[in-house]
Amino acid sequence: MKRLILASGSPRRKELLETAHLPFIIQKSSVNENISDEYTPAEIVEQLSLRKAKDIAQYYPDDVVLGSDTVVVYDGQVLGKPKSDEDAYETLSKLSGKTHQVYTGVAIISEEREICFHEATEVTFWTLTSEEIKEYVSLGECKDKAGSYGIQGYGSTLVKQINGDYFNVVGLPISRTVRELKSFDITKRSVTE
Ligand SMILES: Cc1cn([C@H]2C[C@H](O)[C@@H](COP(=O)(O)OP(=O)(O)OP(=O)(O)O)O2)c(=O)[nH]c1=O
């Protein structure tokens, strides 16, 4: 029976996949995430997801490997993780009082087939004061997160409204992912029998 391998070091993706009650193994990929900004956000997250999954699939040729990637897009600009506190401050200042999109790509691959998809969620921030942004950055929560915030943490207080899948913002559109995994014969039933 094929095993499910999560090609990710993201604690959020691990937690979300755990909610689906599917046994899986974690194997973090260390591919570089440099990609031309000529691609659309949807292409970027799908291609990076595929890159991560393929990197790990070479060590697990008989299994099913899942890779994923999340970016924040504001005004056509793709915003990844902050490089510094100053960078995070700048990003959050841009997002203040505005609506942005969070794109998460997912790639699921086995020896026989591969699929890629993405989900986009719209997130609107409250208008934030400079003090509020500084306070948030000082918490350190922004460091390893696309767009410099975590909606699942204190970052929830920055968010006025969302339109779309919440879990997609956290880093994995778990509902669609589990449905797609079924077509790879990764289901709760098949692994408990
Ligand atoms: C917008 C947002 C992003 N994020 C996170 C999800 C992802 O972990 C991270 C985006 O970085 P990614 O490069 O997508 O993922 P990663 O480096 O954390 O993990 P890996 O490549 O090994 O799979 O931002 C949140 O946790 N909450 C949020 O609200």
Task: Give the span between the Cα atoms of 154 and 175, in whole angstroms.
Answer: 24
Distance 68 CA to ligand 1 centre (A): 9
**φ/ψ (deg, to 5) at 2:** -70, 140
Protein residues whose CB sits closer than 6 Å to any atom of ligand 1: 8-10, 12-13, 28, 33, 52, 68-70, 72, 81, 102, 144-147, 149-152, 155, 169-171
Give the pLDDT confidence score for residue 185 in this predicted structure: 87
pLDDT of residue 53: 98
Q: What is the 3-state secondary structure (H, E, C) of 69-136?
A: EEEEEECCEEECCCCCHHHHHHHHHHHCCCEEEEEEEEEEECCCCEEEEEEEEEEEECCCCHHHHHHH
Residue 115 has pLDDT above 90, yes or no: yes
pLDDT of residue 190: 47
Q: Which of 82, 56, 41 is nearest to 168 (CA)?
A: 41
Task: Indicate the range of 8-22, 56-70, 110-124, 176-190 predicted with least confidence.
Answer: 176-190
**Residue that is written with structure tokens 């990609």 in the block:** 35
CA 45 to ligand 1 centroid distance, Å: 11
What is the pLDDT confidence band of residue 171, given thresholds at 50, 70 and 90?
A: very high
Which pLDDT value is given to residue 189? Answer: 54
Q: State pTM to two decimals.
A: 0.95
Q: Would you say residue 58 has pLDDT above 60?
A: yes
The candidate with the shortest Cα–Cα distance to 147, out of 96, 41, 73, is 73
Mean pLDDT of the region 169-178:
97
Answer for the pair 9, 167: CB distance below 8 angstroms, yes or no.
no
**What is the ipTM for the molecules in this complex?**
0.98
CATH class of 4-192: alpha beta
